[in-house]
Amino acid sequence: MSAVQDDIVVIRDLSFGFGKRVIFDRCNFAFKRGKVTAIMGPSGTGKTTLLRLIGRQVAPRAGSVVVDGEDVTRLPRAELYELRKRLGMLFQNGALFTGLSVFDNVAFPLREHTRLPEAMIRDLVLLKLQAVGLRGARDMMPAQLSGGMARRVALARAIALDPMIVMYDEPFAGLDPITMGVIMKLIRMFNDSLGLTSIIVSHDVQEVSAISDYVYLISGGKVIGEGTPAELEISKSPWVRQFLHAEPDGPVAFHYPAPTLADDLLQDAT
């Protein structure tokens, strides 16, 4: 397999923003087939927006977003919808349908996008719930679940259609250490055993680094650093070191831009 074929998502010269605010300024990304790739960076830098660009919930101002050989920026609507069936998504906090049971939440994409008989859908749902350890919770409602259980149900739903790519938007947010470890194990296990490609957006440096094959660090509209977790750990970049080691001040300044304190105080005095 060539290097190009090995890249399941290729983003070139990506530019995007909201009004005058620049989110991405001619950025490049390449996500390897069958690998776990993390997108990290400070809040508000466009990590979740990047997932939306891959699924074309939003369109770039410039550049290309190629998913499995298809430029999603140019796909007609019908073909785009077909491509989206091959993309799984774990939303922040799970985003389960509150009026549906655990079983019906996982069954939803199968009922919506396939013509499988209900008996086969039942078997598939039970298999997915078994994989996340929650087959016994199939009749519970989302309000009855803990945060970790809800996240695992959402993961079962994300893989219901056996997608080629699963995108995870802050999968560890708000989880206790034990549940976080479970989700980490499931992400890595599903990626390897099902032949998936995983793209993770997260702030959790240690957890993401432990399961990722490659990491992109973004800030200020640019890719500030990239490489394997081991490569980033020894990076000389001040920005990379600040983020990975949670330093409060550095390239990302502690103080929001402002006049000097002395100037402000003198101005107030007059």
Contact 100, 94 (CB under 8 A): no
Contact 107, 121 (CB under 8 A): yes
Q: What is the pLDDT of residues 25-80, one digit of tens each?
A: 999 999 999 999 999 887 778 889 999 999 999 999 999 999 999 999 999 999 99
pLDDT at 254: 58
Residue 200 buriedness (CB in 10 A; 0-12 / 13-18 / 19+): buried
Q: What is the mean pLDDT of residues 140-147?
A: 92
Q: Above 90 in pLDDT, residue 170?
A: no
Q: Map tokens 């140019």 to a residue.
A: 74
Percent of the chain with pLDDT over 70: 93
Q: Map tokens 């983003």 to a residue.
A: 11
Q: What is the pLDDT of residues 248-263, one digit of tens each?
A: 666 666 567 778 777 7
Q: What is the mean pLDDT of residues 137-143?
A: 93
Q: Give the pairing type, strands 197-201 and 165-169.
A: parallel
pLDDT band at residue 88, thresholds of 50, 70 and 90? very high
- Write the CA distances from 171 to 132, 167, 181, 199, integer angstroms: 14, 10, 11, 11
Rounded (10°) angle between helices 147-158 and 102-113: 20
Q: What is the mean pLDDT of residues 88-98?
A: 87
pLDDT at 238: 73
- Average predicted confidence (pLDDT) for the chain: 87
For the chain, the structural domain boundaries read: 3-86+163-269
> What distance, in Å, lies between the first and last C-alpha atoms of the chain?
71
**Hey, is 166 helix, strand or coil?**
strand
pLDDT at 5: 60
* DSSP β-bridge partners for residue 23: none
Q: Which two tokens stand for residue 11?
A: 């983003």
pLDDT at 253: 61
pLDDT at 188: 92
Query: Can you give the pTM of this predicted structure?
Result: 0.86
Range in 37-46, 83-92, 150-159 with the lowest mean pLDDT: 37-46
User: The domain 3-86+163-269: what is its CATH number?
Assistant: 3.40.50.300
Q: What is the mean pLDDT of residues 148-172?
A: 91
**Hey, is 192 helix, strand or coil?**
helix
Residue 227 to residue 231: CA distance in whole angstroms: 6
Q: Which long-range contacts (CB under 8 A, 24 or more apart) does 59-63 make?
A: 60/14, 60/15, 60/16, 60/24, 61/15, 61/16, 61/17, 62/13, 62/14, 62/15, 62/26, 63/11, 63/12, 63/13, 63/14, 63/15, 63/26, 63/27
Q: What is the mean pLDDT of residues 91-108?
A: 91
